[in-house]
């Protein structure tokens, strides 16, 4: 197995020029394609897969799919429920053939309590999500209650064997916590939300897993504003600047997101001695939607949905649909399956981002790599890196790949640059919340793997040693060391009552 060591080079501050030109968000997958901007509830923003690093949980893999990005915490009165007319899925390929072998399907239901208060002798329905404090022991003041079910499909998503995932009491319906309205409505939100972490019985698996679905602080860190303004940040520097990577430029610092998190035993995910698994998340809507000109008084009849499930969102490796896929094909990529990724191969073998960076910063000495086809990027994005996370019999396809045979690193020992930082338990061997995938991706696309003699040679990438960064620091220290690892959601009102 190759052990990939880090090297320190001069540091620059740079963001993705492609996005400033294309006009899409340089967040892992926040509003990344024209079509998904119309359906934010099914917009997958980030996907993670890693060996659990919580104490005594090293025999498990954690998968996290985040949806409905850019949530302003104060977004009442409806806040941010998931779509009851959508199908949210996490797919796992455990033999390298680019087809799902295990699929966890999540469906949501919103139940209106229709709470009323007396006004002049008449009980009148309230316009708010709650009319009093909410706690784990008493949610009677909550006006809309969100629940969900989980099905496991073994084999193809269509035609496979389906069975329900249940909780410790063998019930198939799970409760979702209310969003963080504020401290007056939900005192001690972190403790309240923690009670919704539940043990689960996975069909065919003798060891229980865990699940959590609920609002969390958006874990992604990225500098957006300057990127959109024609990459209005300083050009690459020639001297090392230790402050360049942490300029406090996180545009998502005040945003929440909705998290679907699973923790599953490794033994229930791998197959036939192959330690590498691949995974991705998708969301689908019904093919037809008919708007109702006369909705009923039930909070769920504004439209009628019908027809076959139609995939509208897809996310595996971060940043692929943002900085790799051309604008004209972004919706097409969201609707596609990994087994058909040959149609997008040119975007990986002949990427546009390095060329754009050379145009914008050529005067500062930035040059795009010259090795074509870019086999280093094929390894990073489509097959896994040989000796690290490449399955024995792999079909080139885009997904997050994890070698479950590599031990997890405790939070204190994790390197934010993952594999190129000398930490083989990190990105692109899976992805942990604290992996700074923006900085990693910028360095890899400009040839860092060539510098490390992986898929190309140093002379192919004269700028491969530059420590490109967007100035927004992503670090393992920003996260918890217990499941579901992401920080609790930011409150919609100040923590203290004024």
Share of the chain above pLDDT 70, in %: 90
Strand residue runs (E) in 73-139: 86-93, 102-112, 116-119, 122-125
Q: How many residues does the chain have?
A: 498
Of 88, 61, 86, 80, nearest to 150 by C-alpha is 88
Q: Is residue 401 part of a domain?
A: no
Tokens of 104: 């966890």
- The whole-number pLDDT of residue 28 equals 58
> Across all residues in the chain, what is the average pLDDT?
89
Return d(Cα 48, Cα 400) in angstroms, integer: 8
* 131, part of any domain: yes
What confidence score (pLDDT) does residue 4 get? 38
Per-residue pLDDT tens digits for 17-46: 333 333 334 455 677 777 888 899 999 999
Q: Is residue 106 part of a domain?
A: yes
pLDDT tens, residue by residue, 201-216: 999 999 999 999 999 9
* Confidence bin at 285 (pLDDT 50/70/90): very high
**How many separate domains does the chain show?**
1
Residue 353 lies in a domain: no
**Cβ atoms of 140 and 115 closer than 8 Å:** no
User: Is 80 part of any domain?
Assistant: yes
**pLDDT at residue 257, rounded to an integer:** 98
> Who has greater pLDDT, 307 or 247?
307
Residue 236: pLDDT above 50? Answer: yes
- Whole-angstrom Cα distance, residue 17 to residue 26? 10
In which domain, by residue range, is 291 found? 43-217+256-316
Residue 87 lies in a domain: yes
Task: Kindly report, residue by residue over 182-198, the tens digit of the pLDDT.
Answer: 999 999 999 999 999 99
- Rounded CA-CA distance 265/251 in Å is 35
In this structure, the number of other CB atoms found within 10 A of the CB of residue 471 comes to 23
Give 248-278 pLDDT, tens digit per residue: 888 899 999 999 999 999 999 999 999 999 9
Q: What is the pLDDT of residue 10?
A: 28
pLDDT of 231 higher than 90: no
CA angle 208, 213, 217 (to 5 degrees): 125
Distances (CA, A) of 51 to 152, 165, 377: 21, 21, 24
What is the rounded (10 degree) CA torsion for 416, 417, 418, 421?
Answer: -120
Number of H helices, E strands in the chain: 10, 15
Question: Token pair of 244, please?
Answer: 């360049």
Q: Find residue 311's DSSP bridge partners.
A: 284
**Which carries the bigger pLDDT value, residue 82 or residue 360?**
82
Q: Which of 214, 341, 335 is nearest to 284 (CA)?
A: 335
For residue 23, the model assigns a pLDDT of 35
Type and span of the H or E element at 347: helix 345-349
pLDDT tens, position by position, 433-480 = 999 998 999 899 999 999 998 889 999 999 999 888 888 899 999 999
Give the pLDDT band of residue 127 (cuts 50, 70, 90): very high
Q: Give domain status of residue 444, yes or no.
A: no
Answer yes or no: is 296 within a domain: yes
Q: What is the pLDDT of residues 315-336, one digit of tens each?
A: 999 989 887 899 999 999 999 9
């Amino acid at each position: 197995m190759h052990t990939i060591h880090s090297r320190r080079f001069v540091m620059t501050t740079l963001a993705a020029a492609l996005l400033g030109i294309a006009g899409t968000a340089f967040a892992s997958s926040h509003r990344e394609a024209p079509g998904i901007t119309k359906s934010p509830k099914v917009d997958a923003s980030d996907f993670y897969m890693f060996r659990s690093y919580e104490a005594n949980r090293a025999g498990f893999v954690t998968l996290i799919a985040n949806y409905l990005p850019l949530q302003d915490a104060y977004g009442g009165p409806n806040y941010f429920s998931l779509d009851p007319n959508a199908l949210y899925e996490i797919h796992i390929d455990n033999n390298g053939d680019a087809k799902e072998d295990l699929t966890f399907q999540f469906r949501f239901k919103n139940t209106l309590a229709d709470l009323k208060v007396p006004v002049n002798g008449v009980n009148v329905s309230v316009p708010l999500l709650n009319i009093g404090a909410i706690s784990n022991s008493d949610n009677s003041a909550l006006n809309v209650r969100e629940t969900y079910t989980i099905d496991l499909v073994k084999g193809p998503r269509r035609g496979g064997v389906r069975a329900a995932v249940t909780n410790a009491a063998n019930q198939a319906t799970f409760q979702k916590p209310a969003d963080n309205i504020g401290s007056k409505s939900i005192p001690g939100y972190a403790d309240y939300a923690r009670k919704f972490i539940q043990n689960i019985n996975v069909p065919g698996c003798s060891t229980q897993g865990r699940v959590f679905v609920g609002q969390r602080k958006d874990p992604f860190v990225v500098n957006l504003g300057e990127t959109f303004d024609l990459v209005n940040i300083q050009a690459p520097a020639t001297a090392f600047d230790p402050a360049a990577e942490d300029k406090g430029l996180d545009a998502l610092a005040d945003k929440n997101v909705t998290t679907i998190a699973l923790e599953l035993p490794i033994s229930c995910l791998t197959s036939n001695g192959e330690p590498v698994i691949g995974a991705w998340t998708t969301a689908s809507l019904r093919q037809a939607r008919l708007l109702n000109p006369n909705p009923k008084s039930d909070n769920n009849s504004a439209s009628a949905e019908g027809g076959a499930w139609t995939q509208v969102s897809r996310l595996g490796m971060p940043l692929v649909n943002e900085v790799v896929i051309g604008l004209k094909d972004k919706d097409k990529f969201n609707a596609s399956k990994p087994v058909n990724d040959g149609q997008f191969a040119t975007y990986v073998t002949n990427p546009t981002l390095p060329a754009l960076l050379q145009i914008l910063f050529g005067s500062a000495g930035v040059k795009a790599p010259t090795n074509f086809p870019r086999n280093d990027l094929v390894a990073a994005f489509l097959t896994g890196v040989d000796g690290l996370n490449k399955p024995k019999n792999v079909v080139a396809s885009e997904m997050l790949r994890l070698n479950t045979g590599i031990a997890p690193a405790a939070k204190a020992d994790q390197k934010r640059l993952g594999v190129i930082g000398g930490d083989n338990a990190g990105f692109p061997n899976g992805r942990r919340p604290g992996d700074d995938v923006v900085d990693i991706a910028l360095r890899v696309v400009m040839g860092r793997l060539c510098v490390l003699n992986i898929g190309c040679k140093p002379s192919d990438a004269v700028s491969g040693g530059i420590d490109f960064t967007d100035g927004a620091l992503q670090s393992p220290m920003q996260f918890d060391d217990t499941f579901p690892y992401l920080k609790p959601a930011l409150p919609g009102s100040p923590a203290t009552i004024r």
